[in-house]
Chains A and B, each alone.
Chain A
């Protein structure tokens, strides 16, 4: 068993979980954060993406024990009460979702991109989101949302 302490969405938490526990299992099953979606469980679809110390990672491909001492942000940690995070707001305004399953991962991955590159071009956005699959193929509006959020944050 691994005993760990981490900060999840601004809250300090401790957990005692078997060593083979994936980060996504800790988040969903122990902390009840069901916005972290398991799509493929094979490191391909990116639906389970979360931010670990500010960087996007696939939580199905990281052991929970390795997040000991880290700060983890999931989709549940973005809004401030009723006020959406600017990226969530942009996704809403651009209608950047169809079924919504990939959306949490897309939003967190896009936040990581803008942290690194506040003014990405369209091809940069598309390349960055290669780790996030939308099986509704709704990429067009997703890219528009990221562009719109970037423009809003710069102004």
Chain B
């Protein structure tokens, strides 16, 4: 692994300031994706700015119809949070099935969405729930946050502070995991909100996306039979060793039905 300098600031402002002064600075959240990438020289930071000691990036709180989760909250903390279970149980369930126990003990919400793996679970929840990503300088709607595989709308040095989730009337997440990695071969997050039905799909393409045709069908009738006869074309879906594009298209329908029965 290439050598680097590790910084451990204790405030978000100091973290941003430290990162700004570095050649190739990267924030280090739980490190569950970044450290393996560094071992493979796929990431070559000159400096890592650890976010572990910054209390203001933690915290889970519900205010009215919004649930705010600090960027540094681990998947395990979200999975075990009574606040999350009460407001958006599907989100707690999603966090409980990310990776494995050790990964959930270290990996964080902010780290996952900044990394933007095309098969990660959280992006589906953010997009389906219409969440906002709160950074050190602005709020970014999930809709315009995920730009491509491992690409986001974050500027250089921009730090995620939290994600703000509008609480839906009902929601469910169904994932068909790649059996070794537990990343989603296909994951479907379904939310029924005051503004309508929102369905986000992860793992199936180069980035998370909303399934418009499924949303429209469920808007007409919120039950599995609404999907009867609905063709999901494999065009543009990921086709690789793990699964063909046709199989992923099939899984989108199957996971949507599974999510519907869980609501």
Contact = CB atoms under 8 A, between A and B. Distances in A.
Decide whether A and B are members of one complex. yes
Chain B interface, DSSP helix/strand/loop, else mixed: mixed
A61 B35 contact: yes
Nearest to A46: B102
29 contacts: A19-B3, A19-B48, A20-B1, A20-B4, A22-B35, A42-B36, A43-B35, A43-B36, A43-B103, A46-B102, A56-B101, A56-B102, A56-B105, A57-B102, A57-B106, A58-B103, A61-B32, A61-B102, A62-B106, A63-B6, A63-B31, A63-B35, A66-B6, A66-B8, A66-B31, A66-B52, A109-B101, A130-B182, A131-B101
Interface in B20-35: 28, 31-32, 35
B99 to A, nearest CB: 7
A43 B4 CA distance: 20
Contacts of B36: 42-43, 61
Interface of B: 1-6, 8, 28, 31-32, 35-36, 39, 48, 50, 52, 76, 80, 99-103, 105-106, 180, 182
Contacts of A116: 80
Contacts of B35: 22, 43, 61-63
Interface size class of A (residues with CB under 8 A): 20 to 34
A85 interface: no
Interface string A18-57: 1110100000000000000000011110100100000111
